[in-house]
Amino acid sequence: MRIAVLVALAIALLIAGSALGAQAAPTSTLLTLQLTGATGVRPDGACGRAARFSQYRARGRVSLHGRVVPAPRHRVAVAIVVKRCYGDRFETVQTLSFKTAPDGQYTGSFPVTVPSKCFVQASYLDARSPRAYFRVR
């Protein structure tokens, strides 16, 4: 009887172990974002944050590109939030959406008209890109 209990326990452990091993490890999504078309990059600060700010001219366009890794199986929408510094805090001024290519890349641009200090950040599902700061002169 003691051997039967040990065998039953061993079988239960094998079943539990194989069930745990069958679970896929959670994969995390990485999101990149880069600004392009700037006239330069300078250290600056806004709303209490120091960062490197890409420089753009008023009445110009801010171009950007990035990638979702791993690439989604289908084209998906990546949300881009543009926040502007007002006094001591950043507030959302625009939310954009760009579709990914089959390899997970996305590109887009938006107009800038008012001198300001801002940042953009991409998001998809629970993933967020690092902030990309820019200044409009």
Which range of residues forms the domain containing residue 47?
Answer: 30-136
Answer whether residue 16 shows pLDDT above 90: no
The answer to the question of residue 18 being in a domain is: no
Cα 31–35–36 angle (5° rounding)?
135
Average pLDDT, the chain: 86
- Please report which confidence band the pLDDT of residue 4 belongs to, taking 50, 70 and 90 as the band edges: very low
Output the pTM of the full model. 0.78
Mean pLDDT of 89-104: 97
- Please report which confidence band the pLDDT of residue 3 belongs to, taking 50, 70 and 90 as the band edges: very low
What span, in angstroms and rounded, lies between the C-alpha atoms of 61 and 116? 13
**Rg (Cα) of the chain, in Å, rounded?**
24
Answer whether residue 55 shows pLDDT above 80: yes
Q: Which whole-number Å values give the CA distances from 48 to 22, 85, 108, 137, in the listed order?
A: 48, 10, 28, 19
The answer to the question of residue 17 being in a domain is: no
Answer whether residue 8 shows pLDDT above 50: no
Mean pLDDT of 5-32: 52
Tell me the backbone φ, ψ of residue 30, rounded to 5 degrees.
Answer: -110, 135
CATH code for the domain of 61: 2.60.40.1930
pLDDT per residue over 78-95, tens digit each?
A: 999 999 999 999 999 999
Answer whether residue 77 shows pLDDT above 50: yes
The answer to the question of residue 9 being in a domain is: no
The answer to the question of residue 74 being in a domain is: yes
The answer to the question of residue 102 being in a domain is: yes
- Please report which confidence band the pLDDT of residue 27 belongs to, taking 50, 70 and 90 as the band edges: low
Answer whether residue 124 shows pLDDT above 70: yes
Q: How many domains does the chain have?
A: 1
Burial zone of 81 (CB within 10 Å; 0-12 exposed, 13-18 middle, 19+ buried): middle
